[in-house]
Structure 1
Amino acid sequence: MSATQFTDVMSRLAAGLAVLTVRSGSGTPCGLLVSSLASYSTRPPSVLVSIARSSRSWQWLVEGAPFGTHLLARGDEDTARVFAGRSADKFARLDWDWDDGVPRLRHSPVYLRCTVAARFDHGDHTVVIGDVGGGRCAETDPLVYYRRAYDWRLRRP
């Protein structure tokens, strides 16, 4: 199967969207949009995420710096587009602060502060397992990525 065919097939898998944030080596915030985030373990609480090695944030995320995981909610399409893009300063127009060295998006309904517990390379990505050290969770409807669109939403009955 070609990469194009595989990408088309996988676009049919509905996925929640998350923004990963980390402090770069120069001390500035950086981040990216991911749809490849999953719960990994409850003991200890941890997440698994796949990060393209071509991402500008890749180096800081795999080197072991603490990072933030922000689950996006209905209405966060603009934030998704910012972090999917290649802007030099993705944080310029966002409401954010530092959580002890981790860039935290203030409006994000779900925020997890993570530390790298393990990682391995496969293909053109690195899989990172992050242990969750804390965070917050507010009730909300998720923003869902499906068929290459950010505007799909799941709603509670």
Structure 2
Amino acid sequence: MHPQPRADDLQPAFREVMAGVATPVSVITAVSADGVPHGTTVSAFASLSMDPPMVLVSLDRGSDLLALVRVTGRFGVNVLGATQSALALSFARKGPDKFADVDWADDHGLPRLPGVPGWLACDVDSLVTGGDHVVVLGLVTAAATVDGAPLTYHSRVFGTHAALEVIS
């Protein structure tokens, strides 16, 4: 049996490993009962199931967006494109009014950002606590795509995917 390292000793190494994992960048959105849109940037988003269509997203336990998602039971996933790093940064900051200078449209009762290559409307299936975050499992109720390269986050910088040449 291996001794468990202290969390504060392990966190720097864990952070470095995770920085080396390329992740998609998405803005998770919801709308309050009074019609005010809310959103936050995440890189912890993934497909979970095809039957039924489900995704998972990880939100900080203290997040205002998580509190809203708990109340409304719905959220939108805006999968950002390679030219949308400014949106990612805007929605990554703390505080209200992230939509102040951002165009958006109502899509299935949720805020959808313009030009995103991927869009999902979801109903909350369940919430799973994991450390300082909550994993929100969502049943997909609507999906749409447009052409565009994805925005990714790797080694603490934004980038995009490029196909490798296949050598036979």
Q: TM-score, normalised by structure 1?
A: 0.91
Q: For residues 47-90 of structure 1, what are the alpha-carbon distances to aligned partners after superposition, in whole Å with 9 as ceiling and x for unaligned? A: 01111112221101233532110101111010000111124211
CA drift of 1:93 comes to: 1.4
1:11 maps to 2:37: no
Aligned to 2:146: 138
1:93 aligns with one of 78, 101, 108: 101
**Contiguous gaps of at least 5 residues in structure 1:** none
1:79 maps to what in 2? 87
Question: Which residue number corresponds to residue 113 of structure 1?
Answer: 121
Higher-strand-fraction structure: 1
Q: Which amino acid aligns with 2:38?
A: C
CA distance in 2 between counterparts of 1:64 and 1:89 reads 19
Could you tell me the percent identity over the aligned residues? 35
User: SS of the counterpart of 2:64?
Assistant: coil
Task: Tell me whether 99-108 or 109-118 shows the greater mean CA deviation.
Answer: 99-108
* C-alpha distance in structure 2 between counterparts of 1:74 and 1:12, whole Å: 19
Larger radius of gyration between Structure 1 and Structure 2 = 2
1:62–1:128 Cα contact (<8 Å) kept: no
TM-score of the superposition, structure 2-length normalised? 0.85
Amino acid of the residue matched to residue 140 of structure 1? G
Give 1:155's match in structure 2, choosing from 146, 154, 162.
162
**Aligned-residue CA RMSD (Å):** 1.6
Aligned residue pairs: how many? 156
Q: Is the 8 A contact 1:24 1:57 kept in 2?
A: no
**Counterparts of 1:111 and 1:74 in 2: how far apart (Å)?**
15
For residue 129 of structure 1, the aligned residue among 120, 137, 150 is 137
Query: How many Å separate the matches in 2 of 1:36 and 1:130?
Result: 14
Flag as ranges the 4+ runs of structure 1 deviating above 4 A. none
Is the 2:32–2:72 Cα contact (8 Å) retained in structure 1? Answer: no
Q: What SS class does the counterpart of residue 140 from structure 1 fall into? A: coil
- Structural mapping, 1:2-41, within 5 Å: 2-41=10-49
Opposite residue 42 of structure 2, the aligned amino acid is V
